[in-house]
Amino acid sequence: MKEASLNTASGIRGDSDVPPKHIVVLGVGNLLLSDEGVGVHVANRLMEMDLPDGVEVIEGGTDGFQLMNVVTEADRLIVVDALKGGNPPGSIYRLDINDAPRSADLFKTSVHQIGILEVIHLAELVGQTPETTVIGVEPKCLEVGMELSPEIQTKIPRVIELILREIKRPASG
């Protein structure tokens, strides 16, 4: 009983008093272009895991503007995708959407990535942008094929580890 009154007096609220944030992990990419589909492969792997309440995993494929509701309804968004940053294949990037270039011409990644960036920035224009983090993996192969290259396949556990860390990270504002 003392513990309950101490928690109340100090302003600490139980988990049942605070609704979980709606965190969306959005895996995007084209499964038909080998490493370009890394975000979808990661999303499919995450869907097999027991994730915390409030976390939703969506395989966005190459849907672009059709993902507007997904973006605007999230409190926090973690986008997973192939990202061409000019480093060796398998390099993993983490960037806050506020650090991403505003112009799609400057953000040189895959064709569909332009669509997801436009969706996120459009959501900002209507005042409904979630806190957004992009986790990218430098692709090795963008040839037609549904399998990831071995270099990218071996990075999936590390990408998942980074996503789970992002999920646990407190909101920045």
Instruction: Assign 23 a pLDDT band (cuts: 50, 70, 90).
Output: very high
76-82 and 23-28 as β-strands: parallel, antiparallel, unpaired? parallel
Instruction: Note the pLDDT tens digit of each residue in 101-128.
Output: 554 433 444 544 445 666 676 666 666 7
Decide: 117 and 104 in contact? Cβ < 8 Å: yes
How far from chain centre, in Å, is Cα 68? 14
- State mean pLDDT over 67-79: 88
92-96 and 131-137 as β-strands: parallel, antiparallel, unpaired? antiparallel
Strand, coil or helix: what is 7?
Answer: helix
Decide: 133 and 79 in contact? Cβ < 8 Å: yes
pLDDT of the residue at 62: 78
pTM of the model: 0.79
Decide: 22 and 74 in contact? Cβ < 8 Å: yes
Regarding the domain delimited by 23-168, which CATH topology (the fold level of the hierarchy) does it fall under? Answer: Rossmann fold (3.40.50)
Instruction: Assign 173 a pLDDT band (cuts: 50, 70, 90).
Output: low
Query: Does residue 92 register a pLDDT over 60?
Result: yes
pLDDT of the residue at 95: 86
CA distance linking residue 46 with residue 64, whole number of Å: 21
